[in-house]
Chains A and B, each alone.
Chain A
Amino acid sequence: MAPRTNGRGVQAEDTKICVVMVGLPARGKSYIAQKAQRYLTWLSLNARTFNVGSYRRTEAPQPSADFFDIGNTEGEKRRRAAAEAAVADMLGWFRQGGVIGILDATNSTKERRKWVMDVCTAEGIEVLFVESKCDDEKLIMGNIRDVKTTSPDYKGQDPEKAALDFRNRIKNYEKVYKSIDEDGDEDSYTYLKIMDTGSQVIINRIQDYLQSRVVYYLMNLHIRPRSVWLSRHGESLYNLYGRIGGDADLSERGHQYAKRLPDLVRESVGGDRPLTVWTSTLKRTISTARHLPDNYNQLQWKALDELDAGVCDGMTYQEIKDVYPDDFIARDEDKYNYRYRGGESYRDVVIRLEPIIMELERSEDILIVTHQAILRCIYAYFMKKDQTKSPWMNVPLHCLIKLTPRAYGTDEVRYQADIPAVSTWRGKGSTAKHEDPIPDSGVAH
């Protein structure tokens, strides 16, 4: 999906879209914006978020609620200037080849929306408004608590005072807030309106395929708090022999990990709340998950099967180097794009994992027991890892990773099972069966 040129230097894709967020504070706008950016980047589309709040912050780092009162002309002027600066930077970025710019601000008045619309249209950029509308008091308060602990606006402040100030700030926005097309005079706009976290949705005048794709993704998002747990299968016999692929059974230590996993999960969840478990269709992940409690719903996905190594399936890296020396070198040169003979590349895996990501976004708490390459791709999605680096990440065996998406990033906690296992990490050019990962190949940063 990256903009490709052919021999004549013609761009294959020329659509540019500005995704304009709309909605009151604490409705999960920043969350949606950064998720969209992450998803698009993961799919190799050039996307960037322009957060008006961070422009405003350089002028007024920690403003009180009064700043956001429409009666406060000084505040209004500064906020207007911040929006203009953000939009100017965004337009500059589009001219440099940006494909999807996301304007993260409240854009809560018709006048502001019309202004953004006019500015973008003049530059040949399509506009897609995305509104998150929510009247559920409990959800809003949950969001406020989440935001106030993570937002730079309230860094180092008393949490109670911060929450109160934030409520007042929202009240000031409510005075002028107009939901998009509420009066029926914004029907000509392309928009997606998500009400009460998706129980009702309106989609209006989608203009092209890329827009429909973004809308499709956003419809799958929700802002209810949840976590995703990731684990590789327990150590397998192939891991011991240093062979890749295959459908081998677990080793003795792998079985120990499978027995330990329920406690590890319970410790991490902090109670007996059941999770839904997804495994691949291969023996080693199914065995790893088999001791989990009966009230855990288990599902097998073909799409979670390990990267298909084609003709190299079942070989050691030394054998691959001996039989297919050119392939061995080619893979290390561009591991993300290299496709095994008769098999898959990391890029292929990302494409086949897309439905998994969509389903994952829709779901609540999920535990995924899968394979090294698959886990690298899923991890890269949540942690915004670069394509050139993610295929080289060290994801150790016998370790449970808990990821919790938040408004401004994803939290990670790791739980070690303390059951020894071989290392399956491999450095560039190496053919060692097992080698110790170099320090910065870890996934924890």
Chain B
Amino acid sequence: MDTLLTADIAANAPRYRRKSSTFIDGIHDVPEEADRAPAQLYSTMSGRLFHSGRIAIVMVGLPARGKTHISVSLARYLQWLGVKTRIFHLGDYRRATVEGGGDVPEDYFYPDASPASVMLRQKILKKCREDIYGWLNHENGQVAIYDAVNPTASGRRSLAKEFAKHDVQTLFLESYVNDDKLLLENARNVKIGSPDFANMDPDEAATLYLRRIETKIPSFETMNEKELNYIKMINAGNKFFYNNVSFNYLSHRIVFYLTNTHIKSRATFFVRAGAATEDASYKADAPLSKEGVKYAQVMADTLEKHREQEHAALKARSGPDVPKRQLTVWCSTRLRTLQTADAFKDRGYKVRQRSQMSQINPGVCERLSERAIRRLYPDEVELHELDPYHHRYPRAESYHDLAVRLEPIILELEREQNDLVIIAHESVLRVLYAYLMHCSTMDIPNLKFPRNEIIEIVPAAYQNEAKRVRIPGLDPSTVPGSPEDICIPVPDSGAGTPAPLPGGGLSSPAEPVANAEKPPERVVNKAAEAVRDRITDVD
């Protein structure tokens, strides 16, 4: 076997980037250990999932149908559930195999392609599939997501047969779009950043792009193979058609998840609740202090201003009649978050209370100093330091408990089409942030959300982007961790903490920002570049 070539692919493919800051979406990192399973409910002796063996989820659909977005979302969710999942983008293999930027010959997808093109296609496919088998059969992988066009029925039939030979079950997942408006929007959002379309009217560029796909892949057949297991997602989740799927719990769980996802763009903002009055225990559920009320107003002002600016920027990019997205506010049923949300209610936004979003229960640690906890529960502290994510103090919740409790929120977060402000306790923000940015379980208890920053997360096809927005003019004493945060001694995650990326990546949202007068800062912009790199991505 040509292991050199495989290694070459590994080195060149973006998903093999091994370290990243927690400010960069870690969904494409290769986990070093099985430490990225925030909500794992149970595991099996064999290490296989739900006893259902190895599974390949094979994507089907033309470019600009949101396949990559679906693959990445699904991987995010499955990994969060504790399933060992990896995405294999055929495009990565093409780029590593084809010289000069990965452009394939014009007839690459033609049914009557030239022998050279057929050979090239076979070579790329073979490498990708060998990696899939290797990962599933030798690296304890559970679900491989194979992201490619897979345009023909005959190709899909033989693929299922080939996977079966390797003892891998196949579930096809097609994204089918026949709504022209949706197609144009997708193409506009993701694909037309390419230099080819510079200075062109966005609609015109999108139309041109879609026409190119049609000539490039003339033989696409939508799924209708009665004997195959498939899920057809029609018009980005408006309708699902589900055929002959004999896959236990997992396939239904996937459909459950997919019925809650969409590919429209929106932003999620994470903000803290204001500071409470001095009686700040978990059980007391105290109201906001005077500073807390002021914070709520300043924060809401800042957020509104920021959204205005983003909308203006969007209009400049995509035309004057781009509507401003609606804004929804979620808070927990705790008094402080409710009162903080009032600042938005007063401005006419809709506020929803979610009981699942109440803060982590500190149990016996309530009102104890770190020193007192160490003195009273030395054994527990020792256990906690070994596994700060899963360990629970007496009567307390662990972060893992919190993650399991937050699963409905995660699905509703995916479902939300408006921009969303989440006002919650730091513990809740940590777990939700970890889902969206895929942080390791060792890092989650350490993530910090100072009050003078709004964290904005924008989902993108390849990886999510996080930005921070400074809230100016706050009393510095109200900025750090909330007084009712659990004073549980959390160890430094040491070697587990990903090293900061050189040149701008920050190790956690807590890193101090030097200049308070800076405009909203874009911390990382990898996703856009990653997507730009994939403009011609047609496998």
Q: Which residues of A contact B (CB under 8 A)?
A: 4, 6-8, 10, 12-13, 199-206, 208-209, 212-213, 215-216, 219-220, 281, 299-303, 310-311, 339, 341-342, 351-352, 355, 358-359, 362
Contacts and interface: CB of A to CB of B under 8 A. Distances in A.
Given A7-B335, A203-B240, 8 more contacts: A201-B241, A203-B242, A203-B255, A209-B415, A216-B253, A219-B242, A342-B392, A352-B41
B353 A10 contact: yes
A299 B48 CA distance: 12
A212 B259 contact: yes
B423 to A, nearest CB: 14
A4 B411 contact: no
Contacts of B253: 216
A209 B335 contact: no
A12 B239 contact: no
Interface string B325-343: 0000000011100100000
Contact of B260 (A4, A10, A209, A342): A209
13 contacts: A7-B335, A8-B338, A13-B355, A206-B259, A208-B412, A208-B415, A212-B415, A215-B256, A300-B44, A302-B41, A342-B393, A358-B252, A359-B248
Contacts of A341: 363-364, 394-395
Interface residues of B, number: 42
Contacts of B255: 203, 216, 219
B335 A6 contact: yes
Interface in B390-416: 392-395, 404, 408, 411-412, 415
Contacts of B411: 209, 212
Nearest to A11: B353
A202 B260 contact: no
Interface in B300-358: 333-335, 338, 353-355
Interface string B233-256: 000011111111000110011011
Given A12-B354, A199-B244, A311-B394, A204 B238 contact: yes
A205 B241 contact: no
A443 to B, nearest CB: 25
B330 to A, nearest CB: 11
Nearest to A181: B239
B395 A342 contact: yes
B43 interface: yes
A12 B353 CA distance: 5
A199 B247 CA distance: 11
A250 B171 CA distance: 42
Interface in B19-52: 41-45, 50-51
Most A Cβ at <10 Å: residue of B51, B242, B334, B364: B242
B387 interface: no
B507 to A, nearest CB: 31
B454 to A, nearest CB: 25
Minimum-distance CB pairs A-B, first 9:
A302-B42, A201-B242, A216-B256, A341-B394, A203-B240, A6-B333, A12-B355, A303-B42, A212-B259
Most B Cβ at <10 Å: residue of A281, A310, A339, A342: A342
A202 B333 contact: no
Contact of A216 (B252, B353, B393, B395): B252
Given A201-B240, A362-B248, A7 B404 contact: no
Nearest to B380: A342
Most B Cβ at <10 Å: residue of A6, A8, A220, A299: A6
B72 to A, nearest CB: 20
Contact of B241 (A202, A215, A219, A281): A202
Given A212-B259, A355-B41, A200 B338 contact: no
B362 to A, nearest CB: 13
B203 interface: no
Nearest to B260: A212
Nearest to A207: B415
Contacts, number: 107
B355 A4 contact: yes
A203 B239 contact: yes
A300 B355 contact: no
A300 B249 contact: no
Contacts of B291: none
Contact of A4 (B41, B248, B252, B333): B333
B285 interface: yes
A200 B242 contact: yes
A310 B355 CA distance: 25
A278 B457 CA distance: 42
A220 B254 CA distance: 12
Contacts of A300: 44-45
Contacts of A303: 41-42
Interface in B49-69: 50-51
A220 B392 CA distance: 33
B394 A310 contact: yes
B242 A202 contact: yes
Contacts of A358: 249, 252
A352 to B, nearest CB: 6
B243 to A, nearest CB: 6
Contacts of A205: 238-239
Nearest to B398: A342
Given A300-B44, A303-B42, A6 B252 contact: no
Interface string B168-189: 0000000000000000000000
A202 B415 CA distance: 19
B232 to A, nearest CB: 10
B395 A215 contact: no
A76 to B, nearest CB: 34
Contacts of A216: 252-253, 255-256, 259
